[in-house]
Amino acid sequence: MPPKLKVKGSIVQKKPKLQWKPVARAKAYAIEWLSKDRTWDTLWTLRDDEIAPNEHGLIEYVDNCPGPMGPGGTYRVIAYFNLDFEGKTVVSSPVVLPPNKPKRLTLNEFSRRVKGKKWPANVKSLILRLKWSQHVWTMLLPKEVGLCLGKRIEVSVKSQELTDEVLDLLALIFANMPKLASRSEKAFNDYGGPLAFDEDIQIDRPWIVIDDSLHEGKSAGRWTMVIKIKGSDYGWDIEFMRSRFRRIAGGD
């Protein structure tokens, strides 16, 4: 009877984790992930001298770089009987780890939490204008709040739950919008942004982007003012850490 390879998977501390029993006489393993185009991509390989079962006799693999949609996906493990990753193999059945989907904040809970904050009334009013659409919270800031490059500013918050950390960051940004918009313009001009334009080229509205998935550890408080050329993928990312300018980068 041919050897079997059974793999168990779980999400541990927001990271996919695979475990399996060593296959007799196997000298190498490959861990693969099913990509969006339905092909298997190799994430990691283990050779004979790197295979170290844990105290339960299981080999472990932790995906420390989960995909853009968060931890999860479809994985499989392949056992090889030589160190060249060729010849006879044993392939596990696919292991599907659905990403944890946080519950979206209800409008009533959203309103209750914002009204309970010790923010200026005008900041609370602005934040309550956020609308849920296409997996993000969005809004268009009134022109009196602040303009960037003479244009009104859009807001995109990629956070279903709108955590207190994200709400506090939004309140800080809105309370300092004229200064932050001016700092963004300075960074854009210093970087040579206007020199990229021909006379017939225009830019889209600048937009503020907050991605909750990046708000961990040293990245907490990070947000971006994005400026793009109308009808093009080319643009500039102006990064801030709370109210402090960090850097600017341009590209597709």
Q: Are 75 and 144 members of one domain?
A: no
Which of 47, 71, 97 is the C-terminal boundary of a domain?
Answer: 97
pTM over 0.85: no
pLDDT per residue over 161-219, tens digit each?
788 889 999 999 999 999 999 999 999 989 887 666 666 678 889 999 998 765 555 56
Residue 61, domain member (yes or no): yes
**What DSSP string runs through the chain?**
------EEEEEETTEEEEEEPPPTT--EEEEEEE-TTS-EEEEEEEEGGG----TTS-EEEE-SS--TT-S-EEEEEEEESSTTS-S-EEEPPPEEEPPP-PPPPPHHHHHHHHHTS-S-HHHHHHHTT-EEETTEEEEE--GGG--BTTB--EEEEE-SS--HHHHHHHHHHHHTHHHHHHHHHHHHHHTTGGGG--TT--BPPPEEEEEGGG-SGGGTTEEEEEEEBTTSS-EEEEEEETTEEEEEEEE-
pLDDT per residue over 36-91, tens digit each?
778 999 989 998 878 889 999 999 998 876 554 456 789 999 999 998 888 999 99
Domain of residue 61 covers: 7-97
Residue 102, domain member (yes or no): no
pLDDT per residue over 208-239, tens digit each?
999 876 555 556 789 999 998 888 878 899 99
Residue 15, domain member (yes or no): yes
Residue 79, domain member (yes or no): yes
Q: Are 130 and 189 members of one domain?
A: yes
Q: Are 225 and 173 members of one domain?
A: yes
